[in-house]
Structure 1
Amino acid sequence: MIIVRYLSRQIFFPTFAITGVIVVMTMSNWLRRWLEDAVSGQGASGELFVIILYYVPLFLQEALPAGFLLGILIAYGRMYSEYEMTALFACGFQYQQLVKVTLVPAGLLAVFLWVNNLWLSPWAQQHAAQAWAEQDSLTPFDLINVGRFMKVGNNGQVMYVGGKSGDGQLLSNIFLVNSPEEIYYAQGGEIRVDRNSGARYLVLTQGVQQQGIPFQGEFNLTDFREYGVKIAEQQKRPRTRNRNISTVDLFKSDNIKHKAELMWRILTPLNILVAVFIAVPLSKINPRQGRFLKVFPAVLLYAVFNFLLNDWDKNVSKGRIPLEYGIHILQFGTVALCLFFTALPSWLRKRKHG
């Protein structure tokens, strides 16, 4: 029991740290897009960080097994390099016992993932979808800050709005700066959304366009009645397929995509076991080789497994692969291959000396 607690502690600390890093890295691409939307006036930035938290359970489904794999490699690699494993094996501790002990923290994380997949992640995705719907329901005028300079679009444009009409449909006293050489002033204006492309345009009325810088080369002032300036592209929302459907509803559904999603939620916690049978053999190193010698091949092997898993799941959801041959085939096949190659050297030695 002391060994179980000690090894679990050694594994959990790097596992949680690495999982956090993976989640942040996975979220960074969407985070960049969401921040661009908020800055360009396509979303309320105050709600952005709440929405981000709703996506954490979804990314934990794949990040936690990967973090656990690296946690084992780092923890056991350190113990091999500092002769702690040598001392354990010298006291009669067997390799099979090491695998069994590693399955204890693996089981705890698998139970957490089942709770996350079956309840927490769908609940969070439902709230994320609701938050996005509230964001989309905001009109362009709701996002205008009167009396303040604000950045619009992705090209460094800056806009100032002096006021809004009582019904919030018209703007007044508008300054728009495209660049130091191109400035617009208009008495009124409005924001229009192209129904086909989803792009947003600022339409200025009764204004003046300034081109150039006074007393520096060519300088022009042009009056206009109406002038439209594109300020933002269509908002991009993440696609989460059927991830926001409750597990109870998935059980009741006969839709092939829903059944594939249910299988994904039930079976992906078993990736924790796959990580055990990949990482434990590869964590064994010669102290002179360095503790990180086999990290790259282990990560590469798991990355290939994870890619095939997602591709397999996609084909199951499209009906190309029968449900009976779902992702569990790939999971158990990977474990079987790991066990085979782990036992092969010992079997060859016995045969050679037998």
Structure 2
Amino acid sequence: MNRFSYSRASAVSQALDQHRAHAGAAFIAGGTNLVDLLREEVTHPALLVDINRLPLRQIEATGAGGLKIGALATNSAVAYDDMVVRRYPLLAKAILAGASAQIRNAATVGGNLLQRTRCHYFYDAGTPCNKREPGTGCPALEGVSRIHAILGASDQCIAVHPSDMCVALAALDATVHLAGKDGTRTLAFADFHRLPGDTPNRDSNLRDDELITAIELPKQGFATHHAYVKVRDRASYAFALVSAAVGVELDGDTIVNAHCALGGVAHKPWRDPAAEASLRGQRLDAASVRDFSAMLLRGAQGRRDNAFKIELSARVIARAFELATQPSFEESTP
């Protein structure tokens, strides 16, 4: 592990000042991912700015009828919060599907957004990796690709984003609150993470001088009809091969609104507003969900080891809609 300096901040402005004063500085809160990256020599910050004393742990209702969650709220605190469980159970279920209880007790909401891919090549400092060192190559393109992307990849990187929580936040149309030297701003969750393109080393549109301060959820939480389905290689503490977060609003058996985000398939949680729009006004049945899946997965490309994810994704979507809407969901013969 490389040598680094350490500082502690008690206010957002102080944390930003400390970070800005040192090239190569990084913020640390729970450290559940960053410490791994340090140990594996993947990242080499010159300074760690401890932000655990910042007043960013609130979980509170907003005037617009939504919910605001501070960036330092732990995953466990969010998953078991009464307002989250009642109004945004999709988020609670996604969080509880990820990691172990010990990690959820330490991991923070802001850190969850910023966790990095679990690509084996990315974590192996002895191999080239465009995400770790731009321009060195991507061994996964011709190597072991079982856990890698089938959507939104590029010839520079086929890694996937590992978060469960972020898949639910994408489906819920969350907003990310940021603070930086020029003040505060917000980003729609759909605009926060990036696809790899020619810059796979950049996971998000967070600026170098910015800090996540909160996540805000809109009033619509799909509390009545929702599901989070996660398929993984083992039942405990494993990242998703494919996951789906689904929220549906129904009028009888007619779809008024539907959101569906996929995890484990792309560099960011994968949603397609056009595909979702095609469901509105449709009768909820297996046929309409199959048509939606085909539209959502159009352009999916598998490799030698991960082509199975295309069919698996369609099956996970179907199961998620079925669980979200029983007994409204109807099976139909193809």
* TM-score bucket of the superposed structures, by smaller chain: under 0.3
Report 1 or 2 for greater relative contact order, CA contacts < 8 Å, sequence distance ≥ 6. 1
TM-score, structure 1 normalization? 0.24
TM-score, structure 2 normalization? 0.25
- Which is greater in Rg? 1
Tell me which protein shows more helix as a share of its residues: 1
